């Protein structure tokens, strides 16, 4: 399915989403299934998308593979210039990784979680 004109949302939209093609377009022009609902339906609230005429568009990093060299050049320069800031949460030794993983799931880490298993930082 390349295009689906939706004015109801609800179960039909859910079914359609399982069958859309890459690059499909879905104009959202109404939410009839939700207008008289006593409780919010499960899933995301689409009302702000409709009212604000907003667009959600999926993309995958592979869509921009052709720009990888440009990315590496830009980001490495920004890192060297100190313009790009990042945080790493480094945990030493592989045996500490289960505890670190549980902490990650509980939101106790900050930045990128890394388990360092060697004294050699290049490994």
More confident site: 28 or 72: 72
Residue 101: is its pLDDT beyond 80?
yes
Residues 50 and 87 in one domain: no
Residues 88 and 54 in one domain: no
Residue 78: is its pLDDT beyond 80?
yes
Residue 45: is its pLDDT beyond 90?
no
31 lies in a domain? yes
Residues 87 and 47 in one domain: no
113 lies in a domain? yes
Task: Report the pLDDT averaged over residues 68-90.
Answer: 94
110 lies in a domain? yes
Residue 92: is its pLDDT beyond 70?
yes
Quote the number of domains for the chain.
Answer: 2
44: containing domain: 10-60
In whole angstroms, what is the distance from residue 88 CA to residue 112 CA? 5
Element (H, E) at 113: strand 112-116
Residues 89 and 50 in one domain: no
Residue 8, pLDDT score = 85
Residue 123: is its pLDDT beyond 70?
no
In whole angstroms, what is the distance from residue 52 CA to residue 117 CA? 49
In terms of Cβ atoms closer than 10 Å to its own Cβ (0-12, 13-18, 19+), residue 31 is buried
Residue 122, pLDDT score = 64
pLDDT tens digits along 33-44: 888 888 887 878
42 lies in a domain? yes
Owner of token pair 């720009």: 67
């Amino acid at each position: 399915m390349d295009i689906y004109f939706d004015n109801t949302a609800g179960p039909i939209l859910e079914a359609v989403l399982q069958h859309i093609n890459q690059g499909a377009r879905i104009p959202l022009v109404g939410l009839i299934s939700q207008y008289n609902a006593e409780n919010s339906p499960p899933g995301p609230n689409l009302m702000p998308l409709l009212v604000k005429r907003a667009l959600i568009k999926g993309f995958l990093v592979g869509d921009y593979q052709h720009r990888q060299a440009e990315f590496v050049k830009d980001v490495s320069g920004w890192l060297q210039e100190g313009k790009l800031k990042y945080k790493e949460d480094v945990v030493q030794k592989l045996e500490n990784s289960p505890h670190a993983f549980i902490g990650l799931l509980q939101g106790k880490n900050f930045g990128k979680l890394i388990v360092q298993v060697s004294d050699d930082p290049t490994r």
